[in-house]
Homo-oligomer: A and B are copies of this chain.
Amino acid sequence: MSARDLLRQIVEDSDTKAGRLFDLVVQTLIVLSIVSFSIETMPRLPTSMHMWLEHVEQALVTAFAVEYVLRFAVARRKLRFVFSFFGLIDLVSILPGLLALGIDLRSLRALRLLRLFRTLKLVRYNRAIARFHRAIGLAREEIVLFLCATSILLYLSAVGIYFFEHDAQPEVFASVFHSFWWAVVTFTTVGYGDIYPVTAGGRVFTSIMLFVGLGIVSVPAGLVASALSKARDLDE
């Protein structure tokens, strides 16, 4: 077995002890990077802490760069790796430190955690993901239909509430765009309380739209769940 084959086994596979250790180290570094990035945003951090976090970040970027080079080196099809989902995410993970573009994409490193599923019990989770794909396939038409219906419902609700509430609250329901924000917050049942109808007409309209709307908005999640359970049946 050549040195490259050995390296490939460590970097790409997770069947051997060395391969699992490599994966574990990388995953730990990603979590560390997420934590350090989050701490960095805290207000009133002492300067010493800032400097310390900068050192951590530099070390992490170096480590991730080394990892990227290794992955590139052992990849059988170089181009395919570079433009794959994980290849792009890996690249984005090391760019901010190298390029200092102003836009901070370090948080996207979290997506690399998805590799975790390749580390642990490969087969079972791959089958679960395949089932999920099949479930989406099974219910695709219904999901698309309901998403379109939801979009039209949100738009018509936004326009409706605009006509009812604009005169009473010209600052809050300032335009159809503001009303659309109200529609999103209301039909997802988040209801922050920053924008709500106060007129009798607006409240009656909201009540009616909610009764119709919740039946439409909450169905897709149920569809996904029952399609997943169906996909599992087909799998057995």
The interface of chain A, by Cβ under 8 A from chain B, is: 34, 37-38, 41-43, 104, 107-108, 110-111, 113-114, 116-117, 124-125, 127-129, 131-132, 138-139, 141-142, 144-145, 147-148, 152, 155-156, 159-160, 162-163, 166, 170, 174-177, 180-181, 184-186, 188-194, 196, 198, 200, 203, 206-207, 210-211, 214-215, 218-230, 232
Measured in the bound complex, the distance between the Cα atoms of B200 and A186 in whole Å is: 17
**How far is the CB of A119 from the nearest CB of chain B, in Å?**
12
Query: Could you pull out 25 A-B pairs where Cβ atoms are within 8 angstroms?
Result: A38-B176, A41-B175, A43-B174, A43-B175, A110-B152, A113-B148, A114-B152, A127-B141, A128-B141, A132-B145, A147-B211, A181-B203, A184-B203, A188-B210, A191-B191, A191-B192, A214-B221, A219-B224, A219-B225, A221-B222, A222-B222, A222-B225, A223-B225, A225-B225, A229-B230
- On whether A207 and B181 interact (CB within 8 A), knowing A114-B148, A128-B145, the answer reads yes
CB distance from A194 to the nearest CB of B (A): 6
Which residue on B lies nearest to A44, using beta carbons? B174
Q: A191-B192, A221-B222 are in contact. Are A142 and B41 (CB under 8 A)?
A: no
Find chain B residues with CB under 8 A from A113 CB: 148, 152
Shortest distance in angstroms between A207's beta carbon and chain B's nearest beta carbon? 5
Given A152-B110, A176-B38, answer yes or no on A210-B190 (Cβ-Cβ < 8 Å). Answer: yes
Asked if A107 meets B159 with Cβ closer than 8 Å, knowing A132-B145, A226-B222, the reply is yes
Distance to closest chain B CB from A50 (angstroms)? 13
Question: Which among B108, B138, B221 is the interface contact of A219 at CB below 8 angstroms?
Answer: B221
A145: contacting residue among B107, B117, B147, CB under 8 A: B117
Query: How far is B223's CA from A152's CA once the two chains are assembled, in angstroms?
Result: 23
The answer to whether A184 and B210 touch across the interface, beta carbons within 8 angstroms, is: yes
Assess the B226–A175 pair: CB atoms within 8 A.
no
Inter-chain contact A129/B108, CB cutoff 8 Å: no
